[in-house]
Structure 1
Amino acid sequence: MNPSFVNLARRGFLAAVFTLVPLCAVAQFDKQAWPAKTPTPVLNLQDLQGHTWTTAALKGRVVVLNFWATWCAPCKEEMPTLQDLHDSPQAPVVIAVNVKEPKSRVQTFLNQRQLSLPVVLDERGDLARQWGVRVYPTTVLIAPDGQARWRVLGDLDWDGLQAEAWIKDLQRLR
């Protein structure tokens, strides 16, 4: 085979790889507006500590409602940053909704990772269906007026500037 053809083919291949690699490194999430004609489901949740979270009680606060599972690698990756968000000063309310897993598995996961954010069990997946969740993790950002505004599909660094800006924007809607 002609050596100049091989070099040209190799350069073309490398150019294609270096063109595609940045596309793969782009954000691992997709932020979508909450569908305009879809009402925000009512919240009436009880977390593992027995605390009840209702739409009425959360009125006036930004809520970060995260749907996840222990088998989901991106969920595992973002969970520590959700904990950090929960622990931060002037934090929104962060509620993690585990979908279709037994309490013992979820509790073991939380204990192993020293996570203390509120966790709700969605044993049959009813909540996930109500909120239109089809991808894990999915996080719904709810404004202080109780209306869902954004749905974030995929994992996000909740410690990052992007998430901080979104939450500040929602906090301004008080």
Structure 2
Amino acid sequence: MRACMAVLVGVTACAGSPPTTRASELRAPMPEVTLPRLAGGTWSSTSARGSALVVDVWASWCKPCSKGFPKLDALAARRSDVSVIAISIDEDAAAAREFVAQHPLGVPIVQDAEQAVTRPLGVDRLPTVLLVDADGTVRYRIEEPSERDYDDLGALVDRFASSSSTDH
């Protein structure tokens, strides 16, 4: 199954064709998972409850996946009210570490080799950004985000943060 996902994502997102951003509003619960951090220790999806969460899903074999890394770092530095996490779907943690060594990323990085987050949320393209509200509900999924999409993440977070209390 993982091999099928890798082939599907690789062919559709990383084949060298120009990316076409697909954004969709969701109302899906963020899967409750505990994942290993590349730097050691673990990260739990429930630990982010109470604040907005931006999740960047990527893999080492996806060349366009590193393009948003500087924007994610900038968002994390600018917005203390927003948690940012990067999820590698690499099966090999060493490959993910090597990729990050070549494309530095300052936000916490976790490995989801079993795709416990991506599979339930229908992620089939890379990179994909998920925006999760303070209650743990995935509100947006942005597939193959453009530079402008990364620039607009803060505004999107503000949009759902201001509406989350009235949308339930």
The 5 A counterparts of 1:79-158 are 79-90=69-80, 92-157=82-147
RMSD of aligned residue pairs (Cα, Å): 2.4
How far off its partner does 1:47 sit? 1.5
Shift of 1:59: 1.4
Alignment correspondent of 1:62: 52
Relative to structure 2, which stretch is displaced further, 138-147 or 82-91?
82-91
Q: Which structure is larger by alpha-carbon Rg, 1 or 2?
A: 1
Specify which of 25, 30, 33 is matched with residue 25 of structure 2.
33
Aligned residue type for 1:33: E
**Normalised TM-score (structure 1):** 0.71
Equivalent position of 1:12 in the other structure: none
What stretches of structure 1 of length at least 5 have no aligned partner? 1-24
**How do residues 14-29 of structure 1 correspond to structure 2 at under 5 angstroms?**
28-29=20-21
Deviations 1:102-129 (A, max 9, x none): 1112112212233221111122334321
Flag structure 2 segments of 5+ consecutive residues without an equivalent.
1-17
Alpha-carbon distance in structure 2 between the residues aligned to 1:52 and 1:61: 19
Q: Which amino acid aligns with 2:35?
A: L
| Paired-residue identity, % | 27
- Report the CA distance between 1:91 and its aligned residue: 5.0
Alpha-carbon separation, structure 1, partners of 2:46 and 2:106: 23
Query: Equivalent of 2:63, from 42, 62, 73?
Result: 73
Question: CA, structure 1 residues 80+142, in 2 after alignment: closer, same or farther (shift >3 Å)?
Answer: same
Aligned partner of 1:45 in structure 2 is: 35
Number of residue pairs aligned between Structure 1 and Structure 2: 146
Q: Deviations over 1:3-25 (max 9, x none)?
A: xxxxxxxxxxxxxxxxxxxxxx9
Structure 1 distance, partners of 2:116, 2:43, is 16
Partner of 1:11: none
What is the CA-CA distance between 1:50 and the residue it aligns to? 3.0
Kept in 1: contact 2:35–2:43 (CA 8 A): yes
Q: Output the TM-score relative to the length of structure 2.
A: 0.74
